[in-house]
């Protein structure tokens, strides 16, 4: 184990589980890359590992978890199910397949990966998730890429608050209205592609803040996500980047630095459209 792994703060979710404030994203790693990256990440102090059926790396993630010296209870494993399983019974099947690929006997957080509104069956899928939660097969449930009105539909249909909604969030794609809605309802916001796929790391407001704090541009951007209420899950296969990406709890961006980075919003490529895109 690393001599000095970073201790990551945790947050209590709506349905009671505790989630680390930063996790490792694993897209687009294959099984082999994910196996190595997850072992390095655990060594650096990561306790939250984020995978998905669609990433096709759950087996690699699971093998790393099996090899890690940590007890299963010390790790928080998120996976996500595809549109194929958007029915009450289908979600149970998706859960079983993920459990088998991961080699685990429970999942910490199971998400509906994309709403796929044209298919129109995400409410049925969410009812299936609520059942898995009630039976203790998962410790938390939620969604990825859901809009505010879709989240309202889920809560109205079941009375169960999603623990998490993941959104594409970075200085290039700010989502203040969604984060405010999540906070109002007790939904934890996770940011996917929090580094803007790396595209934002050379931007002047980011490099200026990094120099001022003696940290890397990626640390600035991850800290910026946290200060906006979005918990990042950056992907990196590089052990040094992984370790520094976790080390963002000992400095704070001031209001001027935050505002300068906010001004990058909308300057990059368009984000994915959750009403049209998804699997």
What is the smallest separation between the CB atom of 197 and ligand A2P, expressed in angstroms?
A: 4
* Residue in the structure block whose two tokens are 């990440």: 41
What is the smallest separation between the CB atom of 279 and ligand A2P, expressed in angstroms?
A: 17
**Which of residues 94 and 111 has its CB atom nearest to ligand A2P in the complex?**
111
Is 46 part of the annotated catalytic residue set? no
**Which of residues 91 and 221 has its CB atom nearest to ligand A2P in the complex?**
221
What is the smallest separation between the CB atom of 130 and ligand A2P, expressed in angstroms?
A: 29
| Residue 127: exposure state from Cβ atoms within 10 A (0-12, 13-18, ≥19) | middle
**Which of residues 157 and 272 has its CB atom nearest to ligand A2P in the complex?**
272
**Which of residues 175 and 235 has its CB atom nearest to ligand A2P in the complex?**
235
What are the residues binding ligand A2P (CB under 6 A)? 25, 193-198, 201, 216, 218, 234-238, 241, 244-245
User: Per the residue annotation, which of 55, 106, 122, 126 is the catalytic one?
Assistant: 55
Catalytic residues: 55
């Amino acid at each position: 184990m690393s001599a000095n792994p970073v201790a990551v703060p945790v947050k209590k979710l709506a349905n009671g589980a505790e989630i680390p404030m930063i996790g490792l994203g694993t897209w687009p790693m294959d099984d082999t890359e994910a196996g190595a990256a997850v072992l390095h990440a655990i060594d650096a102090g990561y306790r939250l590992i984020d995978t998905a059926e669609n990433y096709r790396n759950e087996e690699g993630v699971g093998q790393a978890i099996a090899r890690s010296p940590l007890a299963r209870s010390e790790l928080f494993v998120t996976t996500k199910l595809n549109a194929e399983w958007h029915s009450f019974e289908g979600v149970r099947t998706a859960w079983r397949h993920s459990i088998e690929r991961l080699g685990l006997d429970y999942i910490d957080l199971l998400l509906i990966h994309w709403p796929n509104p044209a298919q129109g069956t995400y409410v049925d899928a969410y009812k299936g998730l609520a059942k898995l939660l009630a039976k203790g097969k998962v410790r938390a449930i939620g969604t990825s890429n859901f809009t505010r009105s879709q989240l309202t539909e889920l809560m109205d249909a079941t009375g169960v608050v999603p623990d998490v909604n993941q959104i594409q969030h970075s200085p290039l794609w700010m989502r203040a209205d969604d984060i405010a809605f999540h906070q109002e309802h007790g939904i934890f916001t996770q940011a996917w592609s929090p580094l803007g796929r790396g595209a934002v790391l050379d931007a002047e407001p980011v490099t200026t803040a990094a120099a001022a704090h003696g940290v890397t541009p990626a640390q600035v951007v991850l800290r910026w996500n946290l200060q906006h209420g979005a918990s990042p899950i950056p992907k990196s296969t590089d052990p040094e980047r992984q370790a520094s990406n976790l080390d963002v709890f000992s400095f704070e961006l001031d209001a001027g630095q935050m505002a300068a980075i906010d001004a990058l919003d909308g300057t990059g490529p368009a984000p994915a459209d959750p009403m049209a895109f998804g699997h």
